[in-house]
Amino acid sequence: MRITLLPLVIIVAPVITGLLTLLVPWSEERKARFSLFVHAFLLAALLALFPAVHAGRSLAYKLAPLFPPYGLSLRVDALSFLVTLVVAFIWFLSSLYALEYMRHEHHIARYWAFSNFTLSGCLGVAFAGDLFSFFVFFEFMSLISYMLVIHTETPAAFRAGVKYLYLGIIGGLFLLYAVIATYDLAGTLAFDALRSFTFPDYGLYSFSIFLSYVVGFGIKAGMVPLHFWLPDAHPVAPSPASALLSGVLLKMGAYGMARVFLDVFGLSYLATSGWAEIVAVLAGISIIFGSLVAIVQDDLKRRLAYSSISQMGYILLGLSLLTPAALYGAVLHILNHALMKSGLFLAAGAVMYRTGRHKVSELDNIGRTMPRTMLAFTITALAMVGIPPLGGFISKWYLGLGAVVGGRPVFLFFLLLSSFLNALYYLPIVTRAFFNRAACPFAAFQVLPPEEAGPTSLGTELPPLPPRPLAPELPPAMLFPIVSLAAGTLFSGLYPMSPPFSLAADVVKAYFGG
Amino acid sequence: MQRSLAYELPLLGEGLSFQADALGLFFALLTLWVWFWATLFSFSYLAHAHDKPRFYTFWFLTLAGCLGAFLAADLFTLYFFFELMSLSSWALVIHEEDFTALSAGNAYLYLSLAGGLAILAAAFLLQGTIGTTSWQASPPAPPPPAGTLAIVAALLFAGFGLKAGLFPLHFWLPQTHPVAPAPASAVLSGILLKVGAYGLLRTVSLLASWHFFLLPAAGALLAALATFTMLLGAQAALRQQNAKRLLAYSSVSQLGYVALGVAIAALLGRSFPLVWVGTLYHTMNHALAKSALFLSAGALGRISGSLELNAATALGLKYRGLGAAVVLGAAAMAGLPGLSGYISKTLLHHAVVAAPKLAGPSWRLLEPFFVLAGAGTAAYYLVLIIPWFTKSKLHVSPDLHRASPLLWLPPLVLTLSTVAAGFLPGFFLSHLVIPSALALLGEEAHHLKLELEHFHPWSAADLKGAFFTLALGLLIYTAWIRGLLPRRRAARLRRSRLAFAVFFRKFAPGVRRAFSLLGHYGRNALASLLLPLATGIRKRSPDLFAVILRAAVSSGKWLRSVEKLADFFRPRPACRPVQAAPFSSADYFLSLTWRSFLAVCEALNMIDVLINQAGVALARRTLAFFHFTARIDEALENFSTSSARTLHSFLSMLGHLEAPPRPAGKAGSRSAGWERLLRLDLLNLDVAVLLLALLLIFTLLCFLLQI
């Protein structure tokens, strides 16, 4: 088999698996195992592509008979490979987790089928070689993932699902306009051709194209004025699906934005026209707004969803700063945020699975019952805050450097402020989980009258610890993804130049040279 | 050129680079020495503690953070270890997990993170402008543009000043240090504060090497803040009854000395190298003595079960080793000749005296404050040590058992090392302090050694100054503690005042409670009375409403003053109440800030919900609009049908047309209409005719009116 055929196989395999899952009368357990096996296979197949991509070869494949006269074209370069790697890796871990988690849910076969279809859509978006195929896969992904959002079939899920669906459609319409108009101007839709094509300046017309792209991808990426579907849709899905929605599907919006910025418009055009400023300012607002609102959320998954809004702001900011360091930081943050946020969602789901608690205020001493899970949660949360040896810090470092080198230190201030705010909403969870033996009603900076402030440091009057609960830790199939994601953030922080992360440097090299 | 070891670890992308020059090694040595004895102490102190594995994990992580921060070669690496240190020491602070520890730990955590972010921002700006964050690049890096450098300097001073507990950012310190277990308090106060001091020294050295033009101004500002910190810490420490809290305030005051040294160094630059030596010596003195004192306080807690100074009654006589440690440590801090505090304070005093000669006469103001702070130090250490050696009949000491040697030996060894540093200043200066000062001063400081030849610690003038300060301290102690304050014994009652006394004792609480209840209910009743009234009135005349509102507010004030009056009559205890919560105003401020911040977040959340609801409403409106257009469509169709029919019947009446077939009823109401439109059947031809006629009439009108 030629290696250029591999992307097609990678896209089609999940579709076939999904169809089999729907149609073949296997037991649900067997369907789940089969899907998991296919996801592992996809990860392996992707890794087989790695040497070719790292060597700088651009793998292209054209499937002419589909959608005449344009045809469906696939192409793999460093950026798309990096994104597919994220997709496949997170998907595999989430599926491994779901194998155990979904065992107690209803409609298991439906979950696996639509998980597979969504996976195919995500991979197709990343592998698309022209805007038309991109659009087709993007729409497929947005619409089919609706089934993951409403999987629990609660009224809240349906309410969130309606928003998700309609905003997906509206975003798709904006994208459709932009794609058609791009074809009108450039006469081609292939990314390679568009990259060498200098975008003509037709004033308002060109600007409307840019704006449509920004709206279309901004809805998907949860950029602030278009974010309002996100904090409803992500928490209502089952936890492995939330991890996918927040860790992977949001990245597709960012990936589309990156493709449009880098290939369609080109960096020099955006720099001269100054349109990227709009996205930069909106991203800055997202960063602060998401963090501020997350502080007062009591529902753990909702807090994580708002944190996603803030973190997607980092990625969009890095794209729109148009400096090599910022682009590097943004691409790294796509990777790091996927690792961190899916890890956090999986850990939150594990707590729900084991104890049924989903509010932050109910998490007293949870670290004593589930030490490994909460330790992984703590590490990932610290990575989110941007504490040095962890992954989040590295991408923030390059984003900040990009802001300083680009001559806009205001955004540096945004980044640092957001780090502080992240600490304000992640670390209280850690305190609650591990350091709350007294389990007193505890509010930050609450003032006691002087008579009640007890003796210091010899706290012998504390109640004894609750007995260790009998419930054991998570089953290994659930613990492994959480722990390995935490380990992944640690690894990406310590060795950001090693193979999977070095692709980010390849991306920067491809667009800035040198 | 000094020798230094450099090592680069290829982690974290940028790489962690370490450099062990004399200064870093000096601090690392100090750290390890204190840490060793504190660890030994912790074995007995934490013998029955909970979560020991967790404590020791974070204990050694904090050690790693401190050592890494001291041995880092650039700001990036320093930031990494700074964060490690802050987070893991936070776990030490909240180890007890009780309410006070958690709330103090929160302030500590978030302020440390903010300080760390300030340092990170400075690292960003340096890396972005000059491409390196190294302390000592060779060849030296060119300075960044002046504006950037000013921001970098401000950020670094803020970040390290926060860690060192400098005045506006000091309030976390007296809350945090007392709540930790004693070994942790010892290293928090002895070593972790020194990271801030170390950073300040490095910053000043770096800025001086770039000839930063605002450095003297920054020095002046820093000196003012440092002096204020010294005095503030001293006066707060004088009022403490809790051993650890007293020591924590003492740390605030002593770090003020260090910051003053840094400030004078910034002011005088490299022209007066003695001040660098003095600052470093004082750092060493404070690290050794303060950690010894905190360990002794921990031993007090372990032995007597309480940290109040009253509990220490006569303990120094029973446990001689502990008593010796406390006395020697306090004496070293107060600067008794023969101990290291004397050397360091004398060096700093020389710098303070030299400042007006080199930088202008207005610096003459500094010396009185310096002496006053020294006297305050002596006074509050008298407060600390006197109870250990007073026998009291009131306080019957419990059955004292033998203390484990690990409880008294480590503090004693640490204080003995201050004795060594006091008796052998020549050895310590030439082997430890001067090389590290040279590392800060760089190549230009050849004359430092010559200058130190002239420095003689035992000169008559210096000794006289030291004894003067100590005498002043004794005076303050006797005046403040023994004289001016109300005595602990209640004053004998005179018969004439007896009636009042009985009255107040008996009735004042009741009166007070009645007044406060009255005020409470009065306010509530007033509010319930006013509220409906106000809503009624507001509709009629807004001015009247404002008047009434103002009246309500003033009545509230009046009620408040009545309450205050009632409060005034509350019986007061004869002795001074123990101040339990330090800096309650700062606490209040923090809580207020936090609440208002949360309120802002809540408001944003509300906005988000509103956006959400607006989206839903918009969707509803859109749907309603669709319905509306559908209705318009229907109406138009009805209208067109009926008018066409009229026209048609009119035309057929004229005999021009055959009668049309009747439309097919209501069966396909809307879609049938659209179909008809598409098929262009006869009825729609009628509509077309009608439209054409209207157009014709319009054109005719236009034509007639000559528009």
Note the pLDDT of residue A91. Answer: 94
**DSSP 8-state symbol, A469:** P
Q: With CB atoms and an 8 Å threshold, state whether A455 touches B307.
A: yes
Q: Cβ separation of B598 and A296 shorter than 8 Å?
A: yes
Predicted confidence band of residue A242 (pLDDT cuts 50, 70, 90): very high
Q: What are phi and psi of A185, to 5 degrees?
A: -80, -45
Please give the Cα distance from B129 to B149 (Å, whole number).
10
Residues 6+ apart with CB under 8 A from B14: A397, B76
Nearest residue in A to B591, CA atom: A445
Alpha carbon distance B166, A250 (integer Å): 44
Flag if B245 and A451 touch (Cβ within 8 Å): no
Q: What are the chain B neighbours of A297 within 8 Å (beta carbons)?
A: 605
Q: Which residues in chain B are contacts of A225 at CB distance < 8 A? A: 611
- Is the Cβ–Cβ distance between B382 and B474 less than 8 Å? yes
Q: For residue A412, which of A337, A326, A319 has the smallest C-alpha distance?
A: A326
Q: Is A238 left (phi over 0), alpha (psi -120 to 50) or beta?
A: beta
Q: How far is A321 from chain B (nearest CA, A)?
A: 14
Residue B422 has pLDDT above 90, yes or no: no
Nearest chain A alpha carbon to B129 = A405
Tell me, rounded to whole angstroms, the distance of Cα A50 from its chain centroid: 22
User: Residue A393: its chain B contacts at CB < 8 A?
Assistant: 12
For A442, name the nearest residue in chain B, comparing CA atoms only: B99
Dihedral-angle region of residue A455 (phi above 0 means left; psi in -120 to 50 means alpha; beta otherwise): beta
ipTM confidence: 0.85
> Model confidence at A444, in pLDDT bands (50, 70, 90)?
very low
How far apart are the CA of A261 and the nearest CA of chain B, in angstroms?
Answer: 24
- Chain A: closest CA distance from residue B609 (Å): 9
Tell whether omega for the bond before B142 is within 30 degrees of 0, i.e. cis: no
Shortest distance, CA A230 to any CA of chain B (angstroms): 11
pLDDT at site B490: 47
Could you tell me which chain B residue has the CA closest to the CA of A398? Answer: B124
How many angstroms separate the first and last alpha carbons of chain A? Answer: 34
Q: What is the pLDDT of residues A158-183, one digit of tens each?
A: 888 888 888 888 899 999 999 988 88
So what's the pLDDT on residue B622? Answer: 76
Cα-based distances in Å from B619 to A139, A146, A177, A227: 21, 19, 22, 16
Q: Which pLDDT does position B609 carry in this prediction?
A: 80
Chain B interface test: which of A445, A468, A497 (most B C-beta within 10 Å): A445
User: Closest by alpha carbon to B334, among B468, B183, B458, B241?
Assistant: B468
Q: Average of pLDDT values for B408-418? A: 89
Query: d(Cα A408, Cα A274) in Å, to the nearest integer?
Result: 14
Residue of chain B minimizing CA distance to A492: B12
The string of pLDDT tens digits covering residues B255-272 is 999 999 999 888 887 777
Are A289 and B13 in contact (CB < 8 Å)? Answer: no
Residue B171 CB neighbour total at 10 angstroms: 20
Residue showing tokens 């009166």: B511
Tell which wins on pLDDT, B656 or B624: B624
Query: Which among A231, A420, A438 is the nearest to B98, CB-wise?
Result: A438
Euclidean distance between CA atoms B3 and B22, whole angstroms: 8
Average pLDDT, chain B: 78
Query: Is B99's CB within 8 Å of A289's CB?
Result: no
Q: Which residues of chain A have a CB within 8 Å of the CB of B245?
A: 456
Give B-chain residues touching A293 at CB under 8 angstroms.
Answer: 601, 604-605, 608
B612 Cα to chain A: minimum distance (Å): 6
Whole-number Å distance between alpha carbons of A172 and A158? 21
Tell me the sheet residues that pair with A128: A74
Q: CB-side exposure of B398: number of CA atoms within 13 Å?
A: 10
Q: Tell me: the pLDDT tens digits for B22-38? A: 888 889 888 998 988 89
> Where are the strands (E) in A145-295, listed by range?
none
Q: SS3 for B378-428, per residue?
A: HHHHHHHHHHHHCCCCCCCCCCCCCCCHHHHHHHHHHHHHHHHHHHCHHHH
Only one residue has tokens 């998954």, namely: A301
CB B601 within 8 A of CB A296: yes
Cβ–Cβ < 8 Å for B73, B19: yes
User: Does the pLDDT at position A317 exceed 90?
Assistant: yes
Selection from B175, B170, B287 nearest residue B232 by Cα:
B170
Question: Of the candidates A232, A416, A450, which has its C-beta nearest B580's C-beta?
Answer: A450
Going by pLDDT thresholds of 50, 70 and 90, the confidence category of residue A316 is: very high
CB contact under 8 Å between B124 and A295, yes or no, is: no
Residue B82 in this model has a pLDDT that exceeds 60 = yes
Reported as a pLDDT band with limits 50, 70 and 90, residue B73 is confident
Nearest by CB to A450, which of B14, B109, B584?
Answer: B584
Q: What pLDDT digit, counting tens, does each position of A71-110 carry?
A: 788 888 889 999 999 999 999 999 999 988 888 888 888 8
CB nearest A446 (choices: B103, B242, B245): B103
Determine whether the interchain pair A494/B181 forms a contact, defined as Cβ–Cβ distance below 8 Å. no
* Most trustworthy range by pLDDT among A251-265, A454-468, B39-53: A251-265
Please give, rounded to a whole number of angstroms, the shortest distance from the CA of B83 to a CA of chain A: 7
Name residues whose C-beta falls within 8 Å of residue A399's C-beta, 6 or more positions apart in sequence: A314, A317, A318, A321, A325, A326, A329, A330, A333, A415
Count how many pairs of residues, chain A against chain B, have C-beta atoms within 8 Å.
174
Mean pLDDT of chain A: 85
Q: Specify the pTM.
A: 0.79
Higher pLDDT, residue A247 or B458: A247
Is pLDDT at A149 greater than 70 in this prediction?
yes
A85 CA: distance to closest CA in chain B (Å): 21
Structural contact between residues B301 and B182, judged by C-beta atoms closer than 8 angstroms: yes
pLDDT tens profile A26-48:
888 888 899 999 999 999 998 88
Residue closest to A126 by CA, chosen among A400, A338, A343, A345? A338
Q: A228 and B615 in contact by Cβ < 8 A?
A: yes
**Residues B594, A454: C-beta atoms closer than 8 Å:** no
**Chain B residue closest in CA terms to A411:** B121
Strand ranges inside B149-268, DSSP E: none
Count of CB atoms situated within 10 Å of the CB of B426: 10
Minimal Cβ distance to A457: which of B179, B587, B600: B179
Indicate yes or no: CB of A445 within 8 angstroms of CB of B587: yes
d(CA A450, CA A428): 25
Inter-chain touch A295–B601, beta carbons under 8 Å: yes
CB atoms within 10 A of CB B207: 24
Cα distance between residue A500 and residue A203, in whole Å: 41
A360, A452, A457, best to mutate vs chain B, most B CBs in 10 Å? A457
A71: alpha, beta or left? (left if phi > 0; alpha if psi -120 to 50)? left
Of the candidates A436, A437, A457, the beta carbon closest to that of B181 is on A457
Name every residue whose Cβ is closer than 8 Å to that of residue B232 and which is 6 or more positions away in sequence. Answer: B167, B170, B252, B253, B256
pLDDT of residue A333: 94
Residue B528 has pLDDT above 90, yes or no: no
Residue A153: half-sphere exposure toward Cβ, Cα within 13 Å = 6
From the CA of A33, how many Å to the nearest CA of chain B?
38
C-alpha to C-alpha distances, B125 to A202, A313, A407, B218, B548, nearest whole angstrom: 39, 21, 10, 19, 56
Smallest CA–CA distance, residue A290 to chain B, in Å, is: 9
Residue B529 CB-half CA count within 13 A: 9
Closest CA to A34 of A111, A112, A108: A112
Provide the 3-class DSSP secondary structure of residue B74: strand
Q: What is the pLDDT of residue B604?
A: 81
Q: What share of chain A is helix, strand, coil (3-state, %, to 5)?
A: 75, 5, 25
Q: What is the DSSP string of A25-78?
A: ---HHHHHHHHHHHHHHHHHHHHHHHHHHHTT--EEEEETTSSTTT-EEEEE-H
Quick check: A252 pLDDT over 60?
yes
- Residue A440: the pLDDT is 44
CB A82 within 8 A of CB A334: yes
**For strand A72-76 and strand B5-9, is the pairing parallel, antiparallel, or unpaired?**
unpaired
Task: Nearest by CB to A442, from B102, B593, B605: name it.
Answer: B102
* Residue to substitute from A286, A332, A410, A435, interface B, most B β-carbons within 10 A: A435
CA angle B221, B163, B253 (to 5 degrees): 65
pLDDT digits over B362-380, tens only?
788 888 888 888 988 998 8
Name chain A contacts of B92, Cβ cutoff 8 Å. Answer: none
Say how far apart CA B601 and CA B595 lie, in whole Å: 10
* Three-state DSSP class for residue B441: helix
Give B491's contacts (C-beta < 8 A, 6+ positions apart).
B574
Indicate if the pLDDT at residue B403 is higher than 80: no
Question: What is the pLDDT, as a whole number, of residue A451?
Answer: 40
- For residue B148, the tally of other CB atoms under 10 A from its CB is 18
Please write the tens of the pLDDT for every residue from A105-147.
888 888 999 999 999 999 999 999 888 889 989 999 998 998 8
Please tell me the predicted confidence (pLDDT) of residue B582. Answer: 45
Q: Which amino acid is at B613?
A: Q
> Which amino acid does the sequence have at A479?
L
Residues ≥6 apart with Cβ < 8 Å to B695 = none
Q: Judging by beta carbons within 10 Å of its beta carbon (0-12, 13-18, 19+), is residue A30 exposed, middle or buried?
A: exposed
Model pLDDT for residues B489-499, shown as the tens digit of each residue: 445 556 666 66
Vertex B435, ends B430 and B439: CA angle to 5°?
A: 165
Question: Quick one: tokens of B1?
Answer: 């050129």
Per CB-CB distance under 8 Å, the chain B contacts of A407 are none
How close A495 comes to chain B (CA, Å)? 6
Across the interface, do A394 and B584 touch by the CB < 8 Å criterion?
no
Q: Structure tokens of A323?
A: 């400096």
